[in-house]
Amino acid sequence: MRAVDRKSLDAPKVLTQDDKGGAKELDKARIWRADTDPKKKSFPFKVYKHAEVKAALEKLFHGKCAYCESFYSAQAPVDVEHFRPKGAVEGEAEHPGYWWIAMEWENLLPSCIDCNRRRRQPTPVPSDSLVKLRERAVEVQNTGKKDVFPIAGRRAEAETDNLTLEQAYLLDPCRDDPEEHLTYHLDPDDMIALVLPRGDDATAVPALGETDAVVDGAASAGVSVRGAVSIQVYGLNRLGLVQARTRVLRHLEFLLDLICRIDEVAKVLEASGEPEIREAAQTLEGLIGRIVEEIKQMAEPDAPYSAMVAQWVDKFLGEFDGQEA
């Protein structure tokens, strides 16, 4: 997950203009709620899935899931996700959902089906330390956001309630800086691309499960509670996602090894007094620069898992980071 500036793109007109579908649909929802028992069913919102909204979200997030940074088009059509769920809140049977912001641009995010839909996913077994994860044991965990929205503060239940009184545990990439709460396990000798809650203990892996257990585990481990809850709810360490990120890490490690080997040869050639050999050394140094630029492109916002790659670049690219292409 990486931070995204929603202000860089105007809200789709279909959501905001009075003569468009969003405003009309919200008026219908208000009337519906006044006349219908909300316990029986939720209002059938449709405008938030309009092609104009999907196109805007795709542009803002470069076709990636807002939570896991996977290209959702590679597996299924995008889910237009409500950060605050529109029709219900898991664990609170009396809550009507945040229906009054079902068409608000700030509440909509693009999501892959695995982050958005509640599913049972194979997940690396948590432990006190990453060292114990080397056995690669997995268990099935119930992950995916759906109607989950845990908070620490007062829950808003009506259109007139103040949403700012809620203290959301989940991270929103358009409101929060995920880098303050999430980090990655980047160890060439233990290649498993887990995302971890940021904290003083870089190897701590809090317990998974219900929100209360995750909160308590994160607090005891001294790591970000919001990071830990977000990892569990969005399923950011589901096995398939970890494997996809690990393939990217292996590619980065290959490119770094290639850079180092080319650099060793270039230094030997550079020591030669022969002009043609020294020219060959300069060619190799230029090749290093091109590889470095290729790696940097993998950390750009339009690349998959770019937040992880950016952290890897900061940690490992080192002396080669300033090479000219």
211-249 tens-digit pLDDT: 888 898 888 888 999 999 999 999 999 888 999 999 999
pLDDT tens for 40-63 read 678 889 999 999 999 999 999 999
Q: Where are the domains of the chain?
A: 6-237, 240-322
- Give percent of the chain with pLDDT exceeding 90: 55
Give the pLDDT confidence score for residue 73 in this predicted structure. 76
In the predicted structure, residue 256 carries a pLDDT above the cut 90: yes
The strand pairing partners of 119, in sequence order, are 143
Q: How confident is the model at residue 190 (pLDDT cuts 50, 70, 90)?
A: confident
Give the pLDDT confidence score for residue 306 in this predicted structure. 97
| Distance from C-alpha of 81 to C-alpha of 118, rounded to nearest angstrom | 13
Q: How confident is the model at residue 86 (pLDDT cuts 50, 70, 90)?
A: very high
Neighbours of 72 (CB within 10 A): 23
CA dihedral 216, 221, 222, 226 (to 10 degrees): -50
Q: Which residue type, as a one-letter code, is found at position 197? A: P
Give the pLDDT confidence score for residue 122 in this predicted structure. 65
User: Are 210 and 228 spatial neighbours (Cβ–Cβ below 8 Å)?
Assistant: no
- Give percent of the chain with pLDDT exceeding 70: 88
User: Are 124 and 133 spatial neighbours (Cβ–Cβ below 8 Å)?
Assistant: yes
Q: What is the mean pLDDT of residues 171-196?
A: 93
Place of tokens 């803002």: 60
The strand pairing partners of 120, in sequence order, are 142
Structure tokens at 38: 């909300």
Return mean pLDDT, the chain: 87
Q: What is the mean pLDDT of residues 281-294?
A: 91
pLDDT tens for 89-143 read 998 988 999 999 999 999 999 999 989 987 777 676 655 444 444 455 677 777 8
| Distance from C-alpha of 145 to C-alpha of 101, rounded to nearest angstrom | 17
Q: How confident is the model at residue 203 (pLDDT cuts 50, 70, 90)?
A: low
In the predicted structure, residue 159 carries a pLDDT above the cut 50: yes
Give the pLDDT confidence score for residue 324 in this predicted structure. 44
The strand pairing partners of 124, in sequence order, are 138
User: Are 75 and 55 spatial neighbours (Cβ–Cβ below 8 Å)?
Assistant: no
| Distance from C-alpha of 182 to C-alpha of 308, rounded to nearest angstrom | 10
Confidence (pTM): 0.88
Nearest to 203 by CA among 125, 308, 130: 130
Give the pLDDT confidence score for residue 325 in this predicted structure. 37
Q: What is the mean pLDDT of residues 159-183?
A: 95
Nearest to 178 by CA among 78, 252, 69, 70: 69
Structure tokens at 158: 């009506």
**CA distance readout (Å), 129 to 126, 185, 205, 225:** 8, 11, 6, 17
The three-class DSSP label of residue 120 is strand
Give the pLDDT confidence score for residue 298 in this predicted structure. 96
Q: How confident is the model at residue 282 (pLDDT cuts 50, 70, 90)?
A: confident
